Amino acid sequence: MFSIATASEKAMSEKYIELWKSIDMDIEKHNILLNALGQFYGSIYLPQKNRPQKMDYFNWVVSEVHGGRIKELNDQRALGKKVVGAFCVYAPEELVFAAGANMVGLCGGADFSVPDAEAVLPRNLCPLIKSFYGFRLNRTCPYFQSSDLVVGETTCDGKKKVYELLSELIPTYVIEIPHRPDTQQGKEFWHKEVEAFKIKLEEVTGNKITAEGLKASIELINNKRKALKRLSDLRAHSPSPISGLDGLLINQISFMDDPKRFTEKVNNLCDELEQRVKDGVGVAAKNAPRIIVAGCPMAVPNWKLHSIVQATGATIVSEESCVGTRYFTDLVEPKGDSVDELLWAIVEKYSKIPCACFTPNDRRIQSIEALAGQFKADGIIYYTLQNCHDYNVEGVKVDRAMKAKDIPMLKIETDYSMGDAPQIQTRVEAFLEIIAGKKQA
């Protein structure tokens, strides 16, 4: 999405202009986006000190995320491989790959497209929803432009209703997600929905999903989740061998890169981080406050909170988020040899992802408590996007649970604009003082 320097942005524009035209992008607007994001990435990521050497690959991915990766997807499309775009970790990517298609996360983390969305949608809507709808309207997300099908899901009301409008612009299929997944009827319902999605994928791709193919794609995605979990576990060391910004970036890139290549590169990075742990090398001072961010997902290029926290000298050691632990904590257990048994295995795994759209959602509270212990967290920053009722209200219960465990918690509700950054910084600094006082006591 972003080149490292302005000169390379220009070269990138020239290199890929024909590709972008072929997928009907708004070239002029997209150039403005690339310039802005290139500068944003350059100012936030590149000045970081003591980054692991293996982060070079992820820098490269970022520089090619609107170029080389889009070319790769479209070269494969030319050979008949479809692209399915998604917004939520409930979209069963194992099925998409088993159908011989690629799956990618769609743009929805930038303020850039919000004004276009607000010309149509109400303003008092979650920024993530406005952002993705705006990106489709203004044709500046090459992942949207390369998608043959978008898969949505009935999680929150805002998304659910906007998918109706999105379907006017691009073929959109919505999976209904039961909000009480631990009940037998919830599980049976989910199974039927997954089965219906399988049929839809077979129709769109022209490929039959077989048990063998599904087992192979379960292994492919399990390996990706395992690599991310390995990285997460390394971040639990003190001092943490990698910055919160870099940890977040890798979690974000996991939705865009080719899964096999990505897994290999994350494991290579983990080898380097293991050595750092052995050598006691970290990215922040040994006594730096250790923070877990819990809440709404942070899609690329949402680096606002992490950059503010990191600038204070604190370390973000984990993201309790769908761009984080909720994505990779559990694996699909490939039990059984029939497609149906494997569909059940998918339902089992997905119903353990504790999104705030579930009710009740005690599993999430327990998971935050467990993470606080594993990561030796000094505090939790509870992160909610504006107008996200699910995460906002659930914050009440999380706050009670953290109080009961004597873990300080700061609640931040924000959008994608940088207007409130100074105010957030002041609040984070005050929070860190509370943590420092508690450590001294």
333-362 binders of ligand BJ8 (CB under 6 A)? 353, 355, 357
Is residue 88 part of the contact set for ligand BJ8 (CB under 6 A)? yes
Query: Which one of the spans 9-17, 114-122, 154-162, 416-424 is the region binding ligand BJ8 (CB under 6 A)?
Result: 154-162
Burial 422-432 (b: 16+ CB within 10 A, else e): eebeebbeebb
Of 70-78, 198-206, 285-293, 384-392: span binding ligand BJ8 (CB under 6 A): 384-392
Question: Should residue 388 be labelled a site residue for ligand BJ8 when binding is judged by CB under 6 A?
Answer: yes
Cα 235 from Cα 158, distance rounded (Å)? 34
Using CB under 6 A as the binding rule, whether residue 415 contacts ligand BJ8 is answered as no
Contact flag: residue 332 with ligand BJ8 (CB under 6 A)? no
Q: Which phi and psi (to 5°) does residue 278 adopt?
A: -60, -40
**CA-CA distance, 122 to 396, in Å (whole number)?**
26
Residues 6+ apart with CB under 8 A from 56: none
Q: What is the dihedral sign for C-alpha 224, 225, 226, 227?
A: positive
Compare residues 38 and 85 and give the one whose CB is closer to ligand BJ8.
85
Under the binding rule (CB under 6 A), the answer on residue 155 touching ligand BJ8 is yes
364 CB burial (10 A radius; 0-12, 13-18, 19+): buried
Helix, strand, or coil (residue 292): strand
Q: Closer to ligand BJ8 at the Cβ: 128 or 269?
A: 128
| Angle, alpha carbons 355-360-362 (nearest 5°) | 75
Site string for ligand BJ8, 116-145 (x = CB under 6 A): ----------x-xx----------------
User: What is the smallest separation between the CB atom of 10 and ligand BJ8, expressed in angstroms?
Assistant: 34
The CB-of-189 to ligand BJ8 minimum distance in angstroms stands at: 17
Three-state secondary structure call for residue 434: helix
Q: Cβ 396 to ligand BJ8, closest distance in Å?
A: 15
Helix (H, G, I), strand (E, B) or coil at 89: coil
Where on the chain is the footprint of ligand BJ8 (CB under 6 A)?
A: 88-90, 126, 128-129, 155-156, 158-159, 296-297, 322, 353, 355, 357, 385, 388, 390-391
